[in-house]
Amino acid sequence: MLLKKITAPKPKGLHIIIVGCGKIGSALLEHLSKEGHDITVIDKNSERVQDFANLYDVMGIIGNGASYSVQMEAGIENADLFIAVTKSDELNLLCCTIAKQVANCSTIARVCTPDYSKELGYLQDRLGLAMIINPEHEFAREVARILAMPTALEVNSFAHGRAELIKIKIPENNMLDGMTIATMGSMIDAKVIICAIEKEGEVYIPSGNFVLHAGDIISIVSSRGDMKAFLETIGFKSKRVKDTMIIGGGKAAYYLAKRLMHMNISVKIIERDRTRCEELSVALPKAIIINGDGTDQELLREEGIDTVESFVPLTGIDEENIILTLHARQLSNTKIVTKINRTSFKDVISSLDLGSIVYPRYITTEAIIAYVRAKTNSQDSNIETLYHMYDHRVEAIEFVVQKGSAVTNIPLRNMKLKKNLVVSCINRNGKIIIPSGDDIIKVNDSVIIVTTNTGFKDIHDILE
């Protein structure tokens, strides 16, 4: 059933079909519609399709995304990209399989079930998928990075893990308080660059004369080794946590526990469903599984919430996660990572002391947005990694430079770069370079750009 058709002209972009108007689908719509793509959404829920069709000015079709006739109605024959992100892994794979049979388009499927986790490479290859996305697995990977460097609010990885972009908050009486960035560079012998700062709600791409103060939230890029040295120099601990307590035993908890135990971090999971506890005991034999109500204050105290080094509430209900985080805050200085599924009330959420906040839907959409931009670029470079920071006001993008062009073999100081942008890192054959004005970009380098500009698709977008 066709619900709404676009009549207004749109900027040139890809023809994208999205099946599933849940959390991931809505996040994709929010961002891809802003980037000028021709989007059609498919879902069985008529009210949801109607809402999204009106809100984002896209075409909406009510029906089964795995139906050949529904896909034809959505224009699959002329589609550039087909994305299936329903709650059913099997339905997503079936949708993509049918799409590949009908059209010569790229396909992306959301697949979350742990049973498939060891087979994703096989499925992607055999079904010809461009990408398989597992939100819970990506969430676990991000949380594990944070717990490996617990003084950071966020930890993002570039250059295949060789470079890191971390976010920290400058505490009271820290040596950086009152110091300019230029002074910091001359006083502290560490190869880092401060690429973005949030001060009193405003975000800046700073110059050398920018003055740092307590309460500022700063983002720093460096190699992994130099990052640890810098943090220790300014008085931040850089050692990973020894143990963690997870509330809730869903898929995200399973993936996170598995990754943490691989890092030799002890894991305790509290889950109220007895059957699920038995499943986790078999799947995670080295973890401690407690059958109980993770929102019970007495149980939390008995299990050591006041002494554990990290705490991750994963109940599936945002309100419960927030309350548990605030409760843990009252009892100790434990490192806390709070999972938030909904993106409404961000101003309220950001005003609370919730430690590191992770939005799984945004982790998932960033990988897809990077892929979409790579499909629309000029082919002189390719987007390897994309992160949004500071409530999507800043983008950090890793470009792989594939050809010689106007940005190669020219000292950075001689380039006419756009305002509010910094070339923060160059990866050259595995060597991480924190660039100065004399450094140049070469073919085959990967280059990390941090900017408040949006929509970059190619390395040339950094130029005026």
Residue 25 and residue 104 in one domain:
yes
- Highest mean pLDDT range out of 234-243, 285-294, 452-461? 285-294
Q: Is the domain of 90 the same as that of 51?
A: yes
60 and 119 part of one domain = yes
d(CA 438, CA 154): 30
Claim to verify: residue 100 and residue 8 sit in the same structural domain: yes
Any domain includes 331: yes
Q: Mark whether 11 and 127 lie in a shared domain.
A: yes
What is the β-pairing status of strands 2-4 and 59-62?
Answer: antiparallel
pLDDT band at 363 (very low <50, low <70, confident <90, very high): confident
- 222 with 256, same domain: the answer is no
Average pLDDT estimate for 370-390: 83
* Number of domains comprising the chain: 4
How much is the pLDDT for 10? 43
Enclosing domain of residue 392: 364-462
Q: Check whether 11 has a pLDDT greater than 50.
A: no
Out of 310, 328, 358, pick the residue that ends a domain.
358
Q: What CATH number does residue 197 fall under?
A: 3.30.70.1450
pLDDT digits (tens, 9 = 90+) for 404-458: 989 999 999 999 999 999 999 999 999 999 999 999 999 999 999 999 998 898 9
**For 68-92, what is each residue's pLDDT tens digit?**
999 999 999 999 999 999 999 999 9
The answer to whether residues 195 and 263 belong to one domain is: no
DSSP one-letter code for 410? S
Question: Can you list the positions of beta strands (E) in 141-201?
Answer: 154-158, 163-169, 192-199
User: Tell me, what CATH number does 290's domain have?
Assistant: 3.40.50.720
Judge whether 241 lies within some domain.
no
Mean pLDDT of the chain: 91
Does residue 106 sit in the same domain as residue 162?
no
Q: How confident is the model at residue 154 (pLDDT cuts 50, 70, 90)?
A: very high
Residue 397 lies in a domain: yes
pLDDT number for residue 8? 38
Out of 222-231, 267-276, 449-458, give the one with best mean pLDDT: 267-276
Residue 238 in any domain: the answer is no
Question: In whole angstroms, what is the distance from residue 298 CA to residue 302 CA?
Answer: 6
Residue 243 in domain: no
> 83 forms bridges with which residues in the sheet?
18, 108
Residue 162 has a pLDDT of 92
Residue 118: what pLDDT? 81
Helix or strand or coil: residue 127? helix
When computed from its CA atoms, the radius of gyration of the chain, rounded to whole angstroms, is 23
Whether 18 and 108 map to the same domain: the answer is yes
Same domain as 41, residue 107? yes
Query: Are both 297 and 201 inside the same structural domain?
Result: no
Which of 116, 133, 150 is the C-terminal boundary of a domain? 133
**What is 296-356 written as a DSSP string?**
-HHHHHHTTTTT-SEEEE--S-HHHHHHHHHHHHHH---EEEEE----TTHHHHHHS--SE
Residues 257 and 349 in one domain: yes
* pLDDT value of position 117: 79
Check: CB of residue 447 under 8 Å from CB of residue 441: yes
128 in any annotated domain:
yes
**The last residue of a domain, from among 324, 358, 392:** 358
Q: How confident is the model at residue 2 (pLDDT cuts 50, 70, 90)?
A: low
Task: State the CB neighbour count (10 A cutoff) for residue 56.
Answer: 16
